[in-house]
Chain A
């Protein structure tokens, strides 16, 4: 039997069982007498054991068997203690780690320690959900530490950059291990993160300080000391979940039917073309359009996954946060069955966790409810995380932003509340006086915002002092097909995602004002600086015009007006990335072939400007 072929299947199924177990464990903890819950836990463990044994994964089998044994005892008793839940959850974590090993094609990690009970103490010592940005628990293992470096999205040659950084890190001590390995990096593996296991005598703060001067690093983390625990907790299932998809047989049948119709259609068109029968040809084309649309719709269906596949993990996160903070938080999830494109969903895992953490850590004082709500509005998906906690005081945010020189006093005065909340998304901003271990140095909302925007969505924050905070992500239904505004720039056709555009206006050149060297226009009483698309694209100046076409958009949190040659209307386009290595060209996000054969390229103002900044630096 070709094991390789079944490995992926095993991984995705086992990950599902594990997720169910984690969910069920939290549920059972809330209701210890839930006999049926314990039963189903037992069945999940049993399934994993069976599957792992078939595949010959020995350690996984033994651990699953061990968990099954314990569960069998509780099944007899009909109840389960809270301490045991901790232990079982730790077991689930360890199983996830094992799956990770298997996914990476590595030797399964050791499980005997756990089975013989010694790991219990170790796991209890650590905060159960050591946050990613957690810098409190370092230096645990004598003088070994883990450093995770995350390159900024705008870095053009991440591989070589990481190598340089690795050399830098190596100066601090002895590098024990890196992921990806140095060898792989040398061979051109492309990665934006580098995990280094370092043996050093330099304290963590010092290392942080020395690394912080590298501006290409968007994040420097010192994950918890135990490598296995860390990787097991943060990445489980994600690697394996992407590799295989389960498709409903109904859907497959519909594909076959559609293919059949397309074949018929093809012959119809062929014969109509042969006979030059224009009516018949037109009819055939109409049918083709309908079939293609239907096919597209069905294919998208395959890519859809329920939101639940991400929110399913959250009860566990909430539980752990409650335990470590001593708060009492209830999690409500509404609309978990809403289906979302899998690539969007996968990107949302971390932002959602961040948002939940923020809600519990900043929002809720002692006890409260965090609600996740997902719904559809036309061709957008909205996911909202709301808490009924203390809310955000816009005054305080303004003050804080002023203190850290993020805004000018003038800006602070004119800023409206909803704009003020957006400040929370600036890198380095935090409203919490005390940096806690769960939501630390203000990393978080900026990450959430950048993920959402990368997906072509927007992030909205709304708060009522004393009543709670709502953070809403507005996302497109699918990543591949987006709505863009087409603009012309010296003969090039560019597309700007509609979600990025605040509005478009046409103004007469006479309305343009100068303030210093900067050209600007006044719009609704607000002075908006102008940027020339031609200048940004390093094209020659265009001929003078009687009307200027402006696209008002936001860069680095500020409104700007982009002057374009001409606006060419909106269109839905199917975006494809350029083949490698052209996908690394800066400021070129991907392109689309329009109906008339023209090729349009996505234009990302922010990354283009960031590129220029980096170049100037």
Chain B
């Protein structure tokens, strides 16, 4: 039985599997990283480590809005990287979830698949694609602007 951490990006609900989440941090001070694209909000001190924080809505093309004070820090396997989202929702367990909709094949939206939870559509965030996106941002830094 797997657990999901849903969160809002704009009007949509996305979710991560809890197993990919290392910690949820609150009121973390953001320190600017010099010379980074605007999707990288800065860095946080996370248990003595420097972890970059990403503006996930902006990265995925959602409009600017009120960002949550809390950040999701992914496990070391996926970074570590801190994701800033619009709003965090309550954790849900998968057996309450109904049918998985078709796999998304769009490359840009980082969606691994869509769940239908009693009418509520939840997009599963594709971490592999997210990583590719981040990679592009970091290496393409010199080419932008």
A binds B: yes
- A interface list, Cβ under 8 A from B: 156-157, 489, 491-494, 537-538, 576, 578-582, 584-588, 591-593, 597-599, 601, 603, 608, 611, 614-615
**B134 near A581: Cβ-Cβ < 8 Å:** yes
B141 contacts the other chain (CB 8 A): yes
**A591 near B138: Cβ-Cβ < 8 Å:** no
Bound Cα distance from A615 to B141, whole angstroms: 10
**B29 near A585: Cβ-Cβ < 8 Å:** no
Q: Which 9 pairs of residues, A with B, have the shortest CB-CB distance?
A: A599-B31, A157-B139, A581-B135, A492-B32, A581-B138, A591-B50, A584-B138, A156-B139, A492-B34
Residue of A nearest to B79 (CB): A579
B19 contacts the other chain (CB 8 A): no
The residue from A156, A157, A578, A608 contacting B52, defined by CB atoms under 8 A apart:
A578
Least CB distance, A154 to chain B, in whole angstroms: 9
**A582 near B35: Cβ-Cβ < 8 Å:** no
Residue of A nearest to B133 (CB): A581
Interface centre among B34, B44, B52, B145 (most CB of A within 10 A): B34
**Known interface pairs A156-B142, A593-B45; A585-B35 also in contact (CB < 8 Å):** yes
**B33 near A601: Cβ-Cβ < 8 Å:** yes
The residue from A157, A491, A493, A588 contacting B35, defined by CB atoms under 8 A apart:
A588
Bound Cα distance from A591 to B141, whole angstroms: 18
Interface centre among B32, B40, B49, B79 (most CB of A within 10 A): B32
The residue from A576, A580, A588 contacting B36, defined by CB atoms under 8 A apart:
A588
Residues of A within 8 A of B145 (CB): 538
| Additional pairs, 14, CB under 8 Å, beyond known A576-B49, A584-B135, A615-B143 | A156-B139, A494-B34, A537-B34, A579-B81, A581-B131, A582-B40, A582-B81, A585-B35, A588-B35, A588-B36, A592-B50, A593-B50, A599-B31, A601-B34
Residue of A nearest to B32 (CB): A492
Interface digits, B2-34 against A, CB 8 Å rule (1 contact, 0 not)?
000000000000000000000000000101111
Interface digits, B57-100 against A, CB 8 Å rule (1 contact, 0 not)?
00000000000000000001001110000000000000000000
B51 contacts the other chain (CB 8 A): yes
The residue from B43, B131, B134, B143 contacting A591, defined by CB atoms under 8 A apart:
B43
Interface centre among A580, A608, A614 (most CB of B within 10 A): A580
Residues of B within 8 A of A587 (CB): 34-35
**B31 near A493: Cβ-Cβ < 8 Å:** yes
Residues of A within 8 A of B119 (CB): none
**A593 near B139: Cβ-Cβ < 8 Å:** no
**B142 near A611: Cβ-Cβ < 8 Å:** yes
Residue of A nearest to B78 (CB): A579
Residues of B within 8 A of A493 (CB): 31
**Secondary structure call for the B interface:** mixed
A-B contact pairs, 29 of them (CB 8 A): A156-B140, A157-B139, A489-B34, A492-B32, A492-B33, A493-B31, A576-B49, A578-B43, A579-B51, A579-B52, A579-B76, A579-B81, A580-B79, A582-B40, A582-B134, A584-B138, A584-B139, A585-B36, A585-B138, A585-B141, A586-B35, A586-B141, A587-B35, A588-B34, A592-B50, A593-B45, A597-B29, A608-B35, A611-B142
**B45 near A599: Cβ-Cβ < 8 Å:** yes
Residue of A nearest to B48 (CB): A593
The residue from A157, A491, A576, A608 contacting B32, defined by CB atoms under 8 A apart:
A491
The residue from A538, A578, A598 contacting B31, defined by CB atoms under 8 A apart:
A598
- B interface list, Cβ under 8 A from A: 29, 31-36, 40, 43-45, 48-52, 76, 79-81, 131, 134-135, 138-143, 145
Bound Cα distance from A157 to B139, whole angstroms: 6
Residue of A nearest to B30 (CB): A599
**Known interface pairs A578-B43, A578-B50, A581-B134; A591-B33 also in contact (CB < 8 Å):** yes
Interface centre among A489, A581, A586, A592 (most CB of B within 10 A): A581
Least CB distance, A530 to chain B, in whole angstroms: 19
Residues of B within 8 A of A584 (CB): 135, 138-139
Residues of A within 8 A of B142 (CB): 156, 586, 611, 614-615
Bound Cα distance from A603 to B29, whole angstroms: 21
Least CB distance, B85 to chain A, in whole angstroms: 19
Bound Cα distance from A76 to B100, whole angstroms: 80
Residues of A within 8 A of B35 (CB): 537-538, 585-588, 608
Residues of B within 8 A of A576 (CB): 49-50
Residues of A within 8 A of B40 (CB): 582
Bound Cα distance from A276 to B21, whole angstroms: 35
**B139 near A581: Cβ-Cβ < 8 Å:** yes
Residues of B within 8 A of A537 (CB): 34-35
Bound Cα distance from A585 to B49, whole angstroms: 18
Bound Cα distance from A394 to B40, whole angstroms: 49
**B34 near A582: Cβ-Cβ < 8 Å:** no
Residue of A nearest to B43 (CB): A599
Bound Cα distance from A584 to B135, whole angstroms: 8
Bound Cα distance from A330 to B6, whole angstroms: 71
Least CB distance, A593 to chain B, in whole angstroms: 5
**B52 near A582: Cβ-Cβ < 8 Å:** yes
Least CB distance, A497 to chain B, in whole angstroms: 15
Residues of B within 8 A of A593 (CB): 45, 48-50
Bound Cα distance from A538 to B134, whole angstroms: 21
Bound Cα distance from A304 to B98, whole angstroms: 58
Residues of B within 8 A of A491 (CB): 32
Residues of A within 8 A of B131 (CB): 581
Residue of B nearest to A585 (CB): B138
Residues of B within 8 A of A582 (CB): 33, 40, 52, 81, 134, 138
Residues of A within 8 A of B50 (CB): 576, 578, 591-593, 599
Least CB distance, B50 to chain A, in whole angstroms: 5
Bound Cα distance from A112 to B71, whole angstroms: 62
Least CB distance, A288 to chain B, in whole angstroms: 14
Bound Cα distance from A489 to B31, whole angstroms: 13
Residues of A within 8 A of B43 (CB): 578, 591, 599
Least CB distance, B132 to chain A, in whole angstroms: 9
